[in-house]
Structure 1
Amino acid sequence: MKISLIHFLSTDKLRLPGLLFQPDEKQTRKAVIYLHGCGSSSVFYSPKINKLAAAITHLGMAFFPFNNRGAHYVKTLNRITRKNNVEMVVKELYGTSYEKIKECIFDIDGAVSFLRFKGFNTFHLIGESTGANKIVVYDYYSKNSPFASYTLISPGDDTGLYFEKLGKTLFLKIIEQSKSMIQDGHGLDFVPNSIGLDYPFSYQSCYDVLNPNGDYNIFPFNDALNDLKLGTKALFKEFRKISRPTHVVLGSNDEYCYDKADSCMNLLKKNVDYNEKFYFELIDGADHGFEHHEQKLVQTVSRWISQS
């Protein structure tokens, strides 16, 4: 397969890097885009990317994993603007610590625009961990999704996990504190480390992740399993409305599923309107990252895409 290092612009003009894998034999007009998770994630550090690339290019399709604005904890990105017909570069801080999940729309649309410019016209979208949440957010807000199918790998319940980690009192306190800091113009300030969050979070990102009524709370497993009633938003509201054929893959030992991966999968099955659009698969023995089960994951994902 042929591999190219790519830089492209999101639709709000952030320069993002990616890898374009293409089959050797023939020109293809089909492409699969991949969205990574949060935290220290990056498509450039994951051995899984090469395995997915080999399988997808074997199908005669291109594979385009890219680092979205949520890659790394903190990362300086260049925003490209024009002033008096001269290109200007403005450096801005992004990464998991600053990202708001709805901004994924700019990144995904930018990737599609780049691939269209390259001659591609059929698209599939894979998202892993937070990337799975981003797919549902994208589909919910997109008036006409350009994708033929979605693959959601290890969809996550960050809101519910932080509720369990922090306890109800501290959880609600941080939400209100973050909201207040944003209103006072300090949304980019960092939440104190003493709070005990897993990552260094700005108040704006903290509020985005913890708010049970927000866009990030796509897979509220903890809330549904334990009837927590954390917010007023209908549970699985966005997932229920997904518009494209969707493949959901969970590991039976996913450490972020409260030791109840099968129950989490059943919740997803119960919260879809048209079961024929969905294919749900629980991979026995696999954890959240599918360590030592990568080949099984790659096989099931590539099979789904080939049939979509």
Structure 2
Amino acid sequence: MASVSFVHDWTKDGLRLQGVHWKEVRRKTCVLFIHGTSGNIIENYFAHVLGEHLVKHGYGFFYGHTRGYNHLNDILTKDGNHRRIGARYETFSECMYDIDLWVRKVRELGYDSIIVMGHSLGANKAIHYLAHEDVSAIAGLILASPPDLVGLSKRYDGNRDDMIYEAQLNVKNHEPMKILSHLHDGWLEMSSQAYLERCLDECEADNLPVLRNPDNFGALATISRPIFAFMGDVNEVNIHTPSEDLALMQAKATRCPTFEYAVVEEANHNYEGNEHEVAQLVVDWINQKFAIN
């Protein structure tokens, strides 16, 4: 059984977030996990299994909550107040503060090498961070179920044009936190600002534009670390087939020294029932790519 501990610390913009550390002292490499929309460690069995596997094979694991954990939360601020965020109100660009906090914390815990792993929305956040921060300790990037956020909004938000109009009007009227009249993707209540930051063409979160397929994938094309990406083939976030989407991402990662990908058969978006299989895929890639015995 791995040694697991909770960590609390402050982002540079004054929010107290919580992380969970699966401790490893034999080696100096740690996987930093960035969760997806409304994620949290309590409900993420996939991440728990992954942490156990990584420690068993000599790697640390750190699950870093972002300000978008849960549908709705009230996060303590340094001035003693609380800020209401969660997936409903999250501003995508602020993920830089959250990931920066956990990168610094993982280094403070004694790890020399960090592999950033983003799941779902966390994959877009990880790409955004690596495209803007050149942290020498970050050795690689893992993308689990990486989505084309804008493409998916075009495919599944039947009222998308109305939602964009309503969101832009609310922001113009100084009501960025006003909840839209329609659900995003049929299930998620979102504020006006959050929707525009996530679903508008060429927004900062639009860094895997598989549906639009421009010549250059912007942020992804700047990343010069090895990348491993994977998806399931059941209820996934793919635009075409999972293998076609992953192959397109591979082709657009033009500075990446190696981009490998896999499709996990009979696995869904959260890898329920396939947790051990996926954890072993991650361990095998790290062992192979970084030549650690």
State TM-score, norm by structure 2: 0.90
Could you tell me which residue of structure 1 aligns to residue 119 of structure 2? 128
Aligned length: 288
The ranges of structure 1 where at least 4 consecutive aligned residues each deviate by more than 6 angstroms after the TM superposition are none
Work out the CA distance in 2 between the residues paired with 1:104 and 1:246: 20
Give, in angstroms, the shift of residue 97 of structure 1.
0.8
Give, in angstroms, the shift of residue 66 of structure 1.
2.2
CA shift in 2, pair 1:12/1:122, >3 Å: same
Could you tell me which residue of structure 1 aligns to residue 55 of structure 2? 57
Corresponding letter in the other structure for 1:218: N
Q: Deviations over 1:99-138 (max 9, x none)?
A: 1222111111111222233333221111111111111111
Give, in angstroms, the shift of residue 249 of structure 1.
0.9
Secondary structure in structure 2 of the residue aligned to 1:44: helix
Residue 212 of structure 2: which of 190, 213, 223 is its match? 223
Cα root mean square deviation, aligned: 2.1
Answering whether residue 27 of structure 2 is matched by residue 36 of structure 1, we say no
Contact kept, 8 Å, 2:243 with 2:262, in 1: the verdict is: no
Q: Deviations over 1:262-303 (max 9, x none)?
A: 221221122121464211112222222222222111011112
Corresponding letter in the other structure for 2:21: L
Could you tell me which residue of structure 1 aligns to residue 249 of structure 2? 268
Work out the CA distance in 1 between the residues paired with 2:256 and 2:26: 35
Answering whether residue 53 of structure 2 is matched by residue 79 of structure 1, we say no
Could you tell me which residue of structure 2 aligns to residue 4 of structure 1? 5
CA shift in 2, pair 1:265/1:200, >3 Å: same
Contact kept, 8 Å, 1:139 with 1:145, in 2: the verdict is: no
Contact kept, 8 Å, 2:151 with 2:239, in 1: the verdict is: no
Work out the CA distance in 2 between the residues paired with 1:254 and 1:165: 13
Give, in angstroms, the shift of residue 194 of structure 1.
7.1
Give, in angstroms, the shift of residue 160 of structure 1.
1.5
Could you tell me which residue of structure 2 aligns to residue 22 of structure 1? 23
Answering whether residue 76 of structure 2 is matched by residue 113 of structure 1, we say no
State TM-score, norm by structure 1: 0.86
* Structure 2: unaligned runs, 5 residues or longer: none
Corresponding letter in the other structure for 1:129: S
Between structure 1 and structure 2, the one with the greater Rg is: 1
Contact kept, 8 Å, 1:254 with 1:261, in 2: the verdict is: no
Could you tell me which residue of structure 1 aligns to residue 83 of structure 2? 92
What is the correspondence of 1:184-203 to structure 2 with a 5 Å cutoff?
184-193=173-182, 197-203=186-192
Corresponding letter in the other structure for 1:102: S
Could you tell me which residue of structure 1 aligns to residue 14 of structure 2? 13
Q: Which moved more, 1:71-80 or 1:2-11?
A: 2-11
Answering whether residue 288 of structure 2 is matched by residue 297 of structure 1, we say no
Secondary structure in structure 2 of the residue aligned to 1:221: coil
Corresponding letter in the other structure for 1:5: F
Corresponding letter in the other structure for 2:114: F
Could you tell me which residue of structure 1 aligns to residue 264 of structure 2? 283
Secondary structure in structure 2 of the residue aligned to 1:223: coil
Answering whether residue 150 of structure 2 is matched by residue 159 of structure 1, we say yes
Give, in angstroms, the shift of residue 11 of structure 1.
2.3
Identical amino acids, percent of aligned pairs: 22
Q: Deviations over 1:209-235 (max 9, x none)?
A: 2101101112222333xxxxxxxx765
Give, in angstroms, the shift of residue 174 of structure 1.
2.1
CA shift in 2, pair 1:113/1:272, >3 Å: closer
Give, in angstroms, the shift of residue 195 of structure 1.
8.0
